[in-house]
Chain A
Amino acid sequence: MHALAYRAVLSGILGLSLIASACGSSGGGSPSGSAGNKGTVTVAGFNFSESSILVSIYGGALKGDGYTVNYKLNLGNREVVEPALEKGDIDLYPGYAATELEFLNKGAGQATGDSKATTNKLNELLKPKSLIALDPSSAADTNAFAMTKEGAAKFGNPTKLSDLAKYDGKLTLGGPAECPKRPFCQPGLEKTYGFKFKAFKALDFDGPLLKAALTKGDVDLGEIGTTDATVLDKGFVVLQDDKKLQAADNVVPVGRTKVLDSGTTKLLNQVSAKLTTEDIAAMNKKADVDKADPDQVAKDWLKSHGFKPR
């Protein structure tokens, strides 16, 4: 009897391995929707919630148009997402024009406040990689820097970033891990406003870790986004970028030219044209504060603006 059981266990293991190999590889995040006859597009987003909303907007529009969309949410920061696009692991992601440009030109400082000019310069760099940035939206999410009210009181109640110049070597900055390498973050701040930070703490981009650390006092100044919906609730004071360090960080879809034919390009440009900064801020509030699903929030936006998410 035991020989039978012994063989049963071995065959069980064999059977399981066959099933496992038959199941094959699993794709990205949420299951894609109904049959798309136009092909498959993989849309990826950065690891902060606003990006998930934008991914769902562009992805939802494509799905409504008949594409099969694979989502890769929270893929990582730009250091992860952009190479993935170049490699072809993903097909599209919602970028921010000025930061994309400065990422690719290694901080050469070509980005300006003009989103069209910035995007054109960006496309010069993308073309040899068989990539393209579509029309920039008027909607933008730029870096901003905030303190708590208590923190501000400690540092002379500043209203603009140049008020901080006299605190050279005294402030701790909080932001995502790549901030010390980003021209619109730590290095830019220090160069443009003429002071150095005492220390930098790696947290996340405008996310729960950053806000908690700021509230707790672990950091004095934190990098947030201008579309952040929780600033008032959290009692943050956003300091004005009076020396205009930030540039045109308008939302711009970046994708592979092979996937972006004239039909998709036209559709996505229509979406970008209707998207506004206020829209993004409102959607952020629904997703971050009310904990609504980013894809539902996106679907509602698409419906109310005449697109067909199915």
Chain B
Amino acid sequence: MLLAVPDPWIRWDYVGRHVPDIWADLVEHVELTVIAVLAGLLIAIPVGLLAWRYRSTRNGILAFTGGLYTIPSLALFALLVPFTGLTILTSEIGLVAYTLLILVRNIVVGLDGVPADVRDAANGMGYRPFRRLYRVELPLALPVILAGVRIATVTTIGLVTITALLGQGGLGKLILEGLIRDFRTPLVIGIVLSVALAVMADLGLGLAQRLATPWSRE
């Protein structure tokens, strides 16, 4: 004799009461994402430069970062827990690991894409390798690199939700609550906000990409 009325998809009174909590979750989500992508870049730039410069290392590096990518995220986080506990560090190590493939690959491909004659012209003009990198090659590689940052950011925003299972999670906490309490409202809010966040990040970075490289069409 089930008298339960199905739970409405959104209870607006819940939303009204929980705006500060939802906002805090959103901020936490953004923080976790930004830290991961920036840390990822900090690692990926030197590694990517290495893989690009020294072709012999390239396959090895791409295979390693690619291998990280195939480890199921829940397993990666779970395996870090005995070492780093249920902390932000655990979440960030996992999140950064997943950005590496995309960032390293795009740095390599981007730098590869610089036409050889441009490089020759720069050499002819007297640029030494480091300056040539900074002034000529990186700017030309920027569109592809930024494309990688976009993808890495959107990917990370999705992965942050899983860290809710480790006591962090940002918007993932709302999704977890929806699961544990069989409660649709926080679930819907969590989904809508994560998608909105991802779309905004994608558009925002796309705009940055366009602004930084007005000479390229993409």
Query: Which residue numbers of A lie inside 8 Å of B, CB to CB?
Result: 1-2, 5-6, 8-9, 12-13, 16-17, 20, 23, 25-26, 28-31, 47-49, 72, 74-76, 80, 84, 87, 89, 204, 207-208, 233-235, 287-289, 291, 293, 296
Contact = CB atoms under 8 A, between A and B. Distances in A.
Nearest to A24: B31
B2 A235 contact: yes
Nearest to B36: A20
B179 interface: yes
Number of chain B interface residues as a range? 35 or more
Contact of B180 (A5, A16, A74, A293): A74
B214 A2 contact: yes
Contacts of B215: 2
B181 A287 contact: yes
A8 B35 contact: no
A233 B3 contact: yes
A8 B212 contact: yes
B207 to A, nearest CB: 11
A6 B35 contact: no
A28 to B, nearest CB: 7
B142 interface: yes
A26 B181 contact: no
A26 B168 CA distance: 9
A16 B38 contact: yes
Contacts of B142: 6, 9
B208 A12 contact: yes
Interface string B24-58: 10011001101100100100000000000000000
A227 B181 CA distance: 15
B180 A20 contact: no
B167 A75 contact: yes
26 contacts: A1-B214, A2-B139, A2-B212, A5-B214, A6-B139, A6-B142, A8-B211, A13-B41, A16-B38, A20-B34, A20-B38, A26-B88, A29-B21, A30-B20, A31-B20, A31-B24, A49-B180, A74-B176, A76-B165, A80-B86, A207-B180, A208-B182, A233-B1, A235-B1, A291-B14, A293-B18
Contacts of B21: 29-31
Contacts of A13: 38, 41
Which 7 pairs across A and B sit closest by C-beta, in order of nearness? A208-B182, A9-B212, A26-B28, A20-B34, A17-B38, A30-B21, A5-B212
